[in-house]
Structure 1
Amino acid sequence: MQDSKLVYSTGVGRIVETDKAAARSVSTDGVVRIHRETKGRKGKGVSIVKGLDLEPKALKDLGSELKKKCGCGGAVKDGTIEVQTDDREKLKTLLQSKGFTVKLAGG
């Protein structure tokens, strides 16, 4: 039993190693979409930016920049950027100035 990687545990016996790669939001058509969402947020609207094909660090930096320019909070989750604002037009102009093709999607 040399390289069996068996670890004693009272729950499952074997612990499976998983490779968690950082999430990237990859667009199939090269268009960045800005969605508006209120579900699960007690009626507060957030804008979700999807389809940015960026590395996780670059995605986080872009999220920070968008939040600063809009003067609001937000988060980077699962390869998307959530910005706590309803001003999607401002987000659209900021992303277009960075060279992205942007569409407003959803409500």
Structure 2
Amino acid sequence: MDLQDQLKNLFPEHVPEENPETQETEKGLWMQEAPILCKYEKRKGKPVTILDGYTGADDDFKILAKELKKQLNVGGSIKGETIIIQGDYRDRIMKILQDKGFKTKRVGG
């Protein structure tokens, strides 16, 4: 029994209000004020795009990484608080994130 069910049992006549000020997208990803940093590096001679600065929940972070990899048809990983995408896809990634409502910032050349 989760918290919502317990609250319904304690207060059966209460109807929860929808809060229009929540900062979530239609898929439930946390929207943040600070921009997501999009960097380009070469690791072991191969280009990678690194996304850094997401402050939401870890589950949302994993969902965002999976969606990006799927839309770009490339591999990648999550290490700590960064998403590493194989290849130089800064422009496409920034466009996808801006379409979702995120603020982005290009770092480096």
- Which consecutive aligned stretches of 4+ in structure 1 deviate over 4 angstroms post-superposition? none
TM-score (norm: length of structure 1): 0.68
Give the structure with higher Rg (CA): 1
- Summarize the alignment of residues 88-103 of structure 1 with structure 2, pairs less than 5 Å apart: 88-103=90-105
Determine the structure 2 residue equivalent to 1:30: 34
Query: Percent same amino acid among aligned pairs?
Result: 39
Instruction: Report how many aligned residue pairs link the two structures.
Output: 77
Determine the structure 2 residue equivalent to 1:79: 81
Determine the structure 1 residue equivalent to 2:56: 54
Q: CA RMSD in A?
A: 1.2
Q: CA deviation at 1:37?
A: 1.1
TM-score (norm: length of structure 2): 0.67
The 3-state SS of whatever aligns with 1:37 is: strand
Higher helix share: 2
Where structure 2 has 5 or more consecutive residues not aligned to the other structure, the ranges are 1-32
